[in-house]
Amino acid sequence: MCGISGIAHYNGLAVPTEAIQTLTNAIAHRGPNGQGIWFNNNNTIALGHRRLAILDLSEAGSQPMTTAEQRFHIVFNGEVFNFIEIREELNKKYNLEFVTDSDTEVILRAYEVWGKEMLHRFNGMWALAIYDTHTDELFLARDRFGIKPLYYSFENQEFIWASEVQAIAKLQPSISPCKEAVENLAKGGFDAHGSGKTYLEKIYTLPAGHCIKLDPQGQMTIEQWYFLRQVHVPATLEAQALHLRELIFDACKLRLRSDVPVATCLSGGVDSGSITAVINQLNTASGTLDAQYAQNYKHIGFCASFEGTPLDEKDQALRLTETLDLSLEVCNVTEPTIAELEEAMHSCDGPMHALAFFPIWKLYKHIRSKGITVTLDGQGPDEMLGGYQPIHEALSTALAQHDWHWFDEIIEAYQHQGESKQVSSKRNVKKAKQRILRQHFRQILLWPRLQAGKILRNMGILKVQDLAENNLSNVLKPAIDRPAFISTPIDKSLFNQFFFNPLPAILQQYDRCSMAHGIECRMPFMDYRIVEFIFSLPAQSKIGKGYTKLVLREAMNGILPDFIRLNRTKIGFNAPIVDWFRGGLKDWMLSQMSTSSFLANPYFDGKDLKQRFEDFVATDNQSWAEAWAFWPAVHLNWWLQQQPNFKPQEVLAKP
C-alpha cells in the first residue's frame, strides 16, 4: 500500500527532477516508510513512489522496482492478496526465481509472462504503472472495482499520473474546477466519482476495471479490461448461503496476510460484525491460516462512538467483542475543534460530499496511534444486498413479477430499519409504497393506450423521439456499462449503487481518510468472487423474509451472534450532523456561509442555503435529510478558497 506517481514526456524533453519530486512529495502521507524515483535512459519517463511497508519490510521490497534483466519497471499501490499462489505457479510453470517476499515482484514477473492478462488472475486492490524499456510502452491499470485510486492528465504531450488529484494539480500552472462535477458535489451528489471525471478540469480518474497503454509516440488507448460476470449459483437459499460463507472465509484468510499489525474496524452492524466473527473463527480453527502471514492479527476491533446521538453503536460493538472474547478500542468522536476540522479537510484531497469523512479520518488517526497499520473493513454489502433502501425498485420488481408475498416481505424488511426524530423508516416505506402503487394502477389504466402506441411504432407510423446528443454531453455518466443479465429494476439499482453511486465515492472517502494516516484498509466483501456471486443471485435472496442482506445473514448463522445477525436496524456510518450543526459547528458554519465567496458562489445558491441553515438551527427541525444539504457546499467553497492556482474570477464568477 503506497502512493504512486509518474511523468511521461512525448515531446522529447527531459522530465525535470523537481517535477517528479514535487509530485511524489505531495503524496508523502500515503507512504511514510520510504520513497523512490526512477528515470529511463533519456529522462523522458520518471516514476515516483512513496512506500507504506506491508509485505517484505526489507529494502528489497522498495519501489520503483525492476526485473533482474532491467526491462520492466513498476510503481504499485495496493495489494495482490493471492500473490503466494501466483508466485508458486510462476515458479513451477516458468521456472522463475524470486528474490523478495513482496507482491510487487510477483506483479512484475506476471506481466513479463502474461502481459495485461495477468490482471484477471489477481485477487486484490491496485493501481499500478509498468514501463517496458524494450518497447518504450507504458501500461497503467486499476483494480476491478476501483478500491485504489489512479488519476491522470494528458496535456501538451505530457502524461502525468498520481494517487491523488491534488498532487497533479501542483504541476498545473492554471487549473479550473470541473463544472459538472462540483455542481453535483455541491448538492451532496456522488455521481462524479463513478463517471471518470474529477473536481478539476483536465484531470481524470481511470475508471474501475480499466487500463491505459501509451505507445512510444504517446498514442493513448483506454480500455475496460474487467466486465462483471454472471456465475452459477445454487438453486436454494440454504446452498447459496453455504457457498457465500466459504467465499467470505477465504476472502478474509487472504486479507490477513501481512508483515505488520492487523485489526478490524467494527460497528454494531452485520457487515463489519461478520468480518470480525469470521476472522475469530479462522484464528480458533487449527491449521486454517498461514503462520507466516496471519500471525500479525491483533484480535482488536476499533469502533467510532458518537456518545448521546442516534448514530452511536458502541454498545452493540462492545457486546459483540465480549461474546467473541476480543478487545475493543473505542474512539470517541465528538464535535471537532475548528483547527482539527480544517486539518482533516486539508488532508483529504479535495472537497467531500458529506461530513462523514471526519469521523472516518478521526477513527483511522486513532488506529494509527495504537500501532496498527492494516484494517479489515466491511464495505460493499449495503450496495450489493439492498442496505441503502432501494425500496421503490424492489417493490417495482415484485409487482412486475406479480409476487405479492415478496412485495410484503420487502415492506417488512425496510420498515424496521429504525425510528428517530431524524429518520423514520416506516414513513419512508409508506411513501414509497403509495408512490409505487399509484404508478402501478396508472399503468393498468393506460395499458390500452400503450399497446396502441407499440403497434403504431412497429408499423413505422409513430417514431420515438431520441434525446439529442447535446442534451447528454454535460451529464455525469457511469464509466462502466451494465451487463445484460442485470435486468430487473432492483438489480439495476444495486448495480448502479455499486459501480456508480454511492460506492465509488465511499471507496474514495475511505482511501483518503485511511491513507491520510498511513493505514491500509482492506475490504473482504470486495473480493471479486463474492461480488460476482452476489450479483448473480436472484433478488429474493438479497431482500426477503423481512430482511435486507438475507443471504449474508443466512451465511453467518452460527458464526455471528443473532443479536447482530438478525438486527434489522440500519444506522449507517455518518457524522451526527443534526447535533453538531446545532452545537459547536454552528458558528463556524455560519461564518463560512457569510463570506462573499459563498453567497456569490457560481455552483450553488449560497443565499438560499444560508437562509435555510439559519432557519434549521433556529427551530427544532431534526430532519437528517435537510441537514445533509449544508455541508457539501460549505466544504466546496472552503476548498475553492485554498487553491493558489485558481484565478479569482474562476472562483467567484459564473463559468
Poorest-pLDDT segment among 44-53, 137-146, 250-259, 475-484: 475-484
Q: Which residues of 146-172 are buried (b: 16+ CB within 10 A; e: fewer)?
A: bbbbbbbbbeeebbbbbbbbbbbbbbb
Q: How many CB atoms lie within 10 A of CB 623?
A: 14
pLDDT in tens, 620-643: 888 888 999 999 999 999 999 888
Query: Looking at the domain assignment, is residue 476 inside a domain?
Result: no
Q: How many CB atoms lie within 10 A of CB 80?
A: 28
Please check if 382 is assigned to a binding site: no
Q: Please write down the HEC assignment for all residues of 221-238.
A: EEEECCCCCCCCCCCCHH
Same domain? 498 vs 562: yes
Q: Are 289 and 254 in contact (CB under 8 A)?
A: no
Query: Looking at the domain assignment, is residue 471 inside a domain?
Result: no
* Domain termination residue (choose one: 510, 543, 573): 573
Helix, strand or coil for residue 213? strand
Instruction: Calculate the CA 486 to chain-centre distance.
Output: 21
Residue 348 falls in the annotated catalytic set: no
Same domain? 423 vs 516: yes
Phi, psi of 475 (to 5 degrees): -90, 140
pLDDT in tens, 390-431: 999 999 999 999 999 999 999 999 998 877 777 778 888 888
For the cut 50, the answer to whether the pLDDT of residue 654 exceeds it is: no
Query: Looking at the domain assignment, is residue 394 inside a domain?
Result: yes
pLDDT at 463 (0 to 100): 45
CA-to-CA dists, residue 298 to 276, 280, 371, 377, 496, angstroms: 12, 11, 10, 15, 36
Same domain? 643 vs 586: yes
Same domain? 79 vs 120: yes
Q: How far apart are CA 160 and CA 168, in angstroms?
A: 7
Q: How many CB atoms lie within 10 A of CB 122?
A: 24
The residue among 90, 94, 210 whose CA lies nearest residue 152 is 210
Q: What is the mean pLDDT of the chain?
A: 91
For the cut 70, the answer to whether the pLDDT of residue 292 exceeds it is: no
Residue 155: which residues within 8 A CB-CB, separation 6 or more? 202
Q: How many CB atoms lie within 10 A of CB 182?
A: 28
Q: How many CB atoms lie within 10 A of CB 590?
A: 15
Query: How is 239-293 classified by DSSP, letter by letter?
Result: HHHHHHHHHHHHHHHHHT--SS-EEEE--SSHHHHHHHHHHHHHHHSTT-S-HHH
Q: How far apart are CA 145 and CA 478, in angstroms?
A: 13
pLDDT at 417 (0 to 100): 86
Average pLDDT of the segment spanning 517-523:
97
| Cell numbers placing 30 | 500515503
Same domain? 249 vs 179: no
**HSE of 405 in the Cβ direction (CA atoms, 13 Å)?**
2
Same domain? 143 vs 182: yes
pLDDT in tens, 237-247: 999 999 999 99
CA-to-CA dists, residue 292 to 101, 247, 422, 567, angstroms: 11, 22, 48, 37
Same domain? 320 vs 307: yes
pTM for this structure?
0.93
Same domain? 566 vs 643: no
| Cell numbers placing 106 | 510477483
Same domain? 619 vs 546: no
Q: How far apart are CA 166 and CA 348, in angstroms?
A: 9
For the cut 50, the answer to whether the pLDDT of residue 151 exceeds it is: yes
* Domain termination residue (choose one: 224, 246, 264): 224
Query: Looking at the domain assignment, is residue 470 inside a domain?
Result: no
Alpha-carbon Rg for the chain, nearest whole angstrom, is: 25
Beta strand 297-305 with 327-332 is parallel
**HSE of 74 in the Cβ direction (CA atoms, 13 Å)?**
26
Q: How many helices (H) and strands (E) does the chain have?
A: 28, 19
CA-to-CA dists, residue 130 to 73, 117, 274, angstroms: 5, 14, 37
pLDDT in tens, 156-180: 999 999 999 999 999 987 888 999 9
Domain count, the chain: 3
Query: Looking at the domain assignment, is residue 276 inside a domain?
Result: yes
pLDDT in tens, 523-563: 999 999 999 999 999 999 999 999 999 999 999 999 999 99
Range of the domain at 548: 232-461+481-573
Q: Are 105 and 65 in contact (CB under 8 A)?
A: yes
- Domain CATH number, residue 531: 3.40.50.620
Residue bearing cell 421503490: 392
Q: Is the peptide bond before 64 cis (omega within 30 degrees of 0)?
A: yes
**HSE of 278 in the Cβ direction (CA atoms, 13 Å)?**
31
pLDDT at 447 (0 to 100): 46
Same domain? 506 vs 361: yes
Same domain? 83 vs 110: yes
CA–CA–CA angle 513, 515, 520 (5° rounding): 110
* Domain termination residue (choose one: 203, 224, 245): 224
Helix, strand or coil for residue 216? coil
Q: Are 304 and 573 in contact (CB under 8 A)?
A: yes
pLDDT at 65 (0 to 100): 98
Query: Looking at the domain assignment, is residue 488 inside a domain?
Result: yes
Query: Looking at the domain assignment, is residue 472 inside a domain?
Result: no
CA–CA–CA angle 319, 320, 322 (5° rounding): 65
Q: Are 258 and 55 in contact (CB under 8 A)?
A: yes
Residue 248: which residues within 8 A CB-CB, separation 6 or more? 274, 278, 524, 525, 530, 555
For the cut 80, the answer to whether the pLDDT of residue 288 exceeds it is: no
For the cut 50, the answer to whether the pLDDT of residue 466 exceeds it is: no
For the cut 50, the answer to whether the pLDDT of residue 129 exceeds it is: yes
Query: Looking at the domain assignment, is residue 192 inside a domain?
Result: yes
DSSP 8-class letter at 29: G
Q: How far apart are CA 255 and CA 524, in angstroms?
A: 7
pLDDT at 573 (0 to 100): 82
In what side-by-side order are the strands of the sheet with 327-332?
327-332, 297-305, 262-265, 374-376, 520-522
pLDDT in tens, 569-592: 887 788 999 999 999 999 999 999
Same domain? 495 vs 589: no
| Cell numbers placing 494 | 444495486
